[in-house]
């Protein structure tokens, strides 16, 4: 293993730079030349790369985003795209490739492996935490903290004005950020795709819970966390409907892409550093077609297909205690 290339693909996530740093430092330690491809799989098609020196990754562990930039690439999904990428990797004398991204990126890795004989390893980098086979993905912990900080500030103004606030977080297909943010912020209710897979809850049920909380506690704040795309029209439309139904002022707060940004928290930096260094070791041992993850504080090697062929489940105990908060209000007797 003389030359290892790396790229970041799909949505960016805090901690990607930490992973890049770990890979580059591990390569130089092993006497391997690291190449950084820019703009995801687009860089493979355009042969847009450069050798990464240790000074290139100095002082980046705390930076959000990715110094290699990221993008989605429809052209790469074709057979011709993969053949072009394979030819460019061979021309650059690349022996192994590390791809940092989500399940779409891992599908791309498997697609490339049909046309390229080099070794390919993936690192799970997505705030959604929806990759099977690893307890957490790079960027997930920071996204929770970002959402939580916003919700805590919203709670202050919600208390002051005795309003309902709907907090819309990312995760249209996975409720990991929503559930964790709801539990940590003490939200009264949470709406997640896993809990309402067939259809969103009825408006009357949501409104009745809010009115009951007001009857029991008196006028008070009420926080509802919801995943994007769960309600038709999003948090904005649901806020209007709830205000009309309850007669209580209801405001939507859509966190959006702010959850992707910011300096990665310590847990993401440590996770990214471990996974990045281990990816280089795995390639040196001749391993390929795997994602490097972490389960129960142990590094694991997961075949690419296993990272997406089974839906990752929410923590059932967190779901239980969040539902208990909802049920407490539903069952509590007015004083």
Q: Is the dihedral of CA 27, 43, 94, 139 positive or negative?
A: positive
* Contacts with 334 (C-beta within 8 Å, 6 or more apart), sequence order: 215, 216
Catalytic residue check, 327: no
Kindly report the number of other CB atoms within 10 A of residue 327's CB atom. 11
Q: How far apart are CA 67 and CA 12, in angstroms?
A: 10
Where do the H-state alpha helices sit in 192-309?
A: 203-217, 234-246, 266-284
Q: How far apart are CA 54 and CA 234, in angstroms?
A: 45
Partners of 49 in the β-ladder: 37
CA dist 167 → 65, 147, 227, 314, 325 (Å):
24, 9, 8, 19, 17
Identified catalytic residue from 12, 90, 103, 128: 128
Task: Write a three-state SS string for 142-199.
Answer: HHHHHHHHHHHHHHHHHHHHCCEEEEEECCCCCCHHHHHHHHHHCCCEEECCCCCCCC
Q: How far apart are CA 285 and CA 64, in angstroms?
A: 31
* Residue positions annotated with a catalytic role: 128
């Amino acid at each position: 293993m003389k030359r290892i290339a790396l790229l970041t693909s799909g949505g960016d996530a805090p901690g990607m730079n930490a992973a890049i740093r770990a890979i580059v430092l591990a390569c130089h330690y092993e006497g391997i030349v690291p190449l950084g491809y820019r703009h995801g799989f687009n860089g493979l098609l355009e042969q847009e790369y450069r050798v990464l020196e240790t000074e290139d990754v100095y002082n980046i562990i705390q930076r959000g985003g990715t110094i290699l930039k990221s993008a989605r690439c429809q052209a790469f999904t074709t057979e011709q795209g993969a053949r072009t990428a394979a030819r460019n990797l061979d021309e650059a004398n690349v022996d192994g490739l590390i791809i940092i991204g989500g399940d779409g990126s891992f599908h791309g890795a498997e697609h490339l492996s049909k046309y390229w004989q080099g070794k390919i390893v993936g690192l799970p980098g997505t705030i959604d935490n929806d990759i099977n086979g690893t307890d957490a993905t790079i960027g997930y912990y920071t996204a929770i903290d970002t959402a939580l900080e916003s919700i805590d500030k919203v709670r202050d103004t919600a208390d002051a004005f005795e309003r309902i606030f709907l907090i819309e977080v990312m995760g249209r297909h996975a409720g990991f950020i929503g559930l964790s943010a709801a539990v940590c912020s003490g939200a009264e209710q949470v709406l997640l795709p896993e809990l309402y897979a067939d259809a969103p809850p009825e408006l009357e049920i949501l409104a009745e819970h809010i009115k009951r909380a007001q009857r029991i506690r008196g006028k008070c704040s009420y926080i509802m966390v919801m995943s994007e795309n769960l309600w038709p029209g999003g948090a904005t439309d649901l806020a209007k409907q709830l205000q009309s139904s309850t007669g209580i002022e209801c405001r939507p707060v859509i966190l959006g892409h702010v959850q992707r940004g910011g300096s990665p928290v310590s847990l993401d930096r440590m996770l990214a550093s471990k996974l990045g260094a281990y990816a280089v070791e795995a390639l040196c041992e001749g391993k390929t077609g795997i994602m490097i993850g972490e389960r129960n504080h142990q590094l694991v090697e997961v075949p690419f297909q296993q990272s997406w062929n089974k839906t990752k489940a929410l923590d059932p105990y967190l779901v239980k205690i969040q539902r208990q908060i909802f049920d407490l209000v539903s069952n509590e007797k007015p004083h």
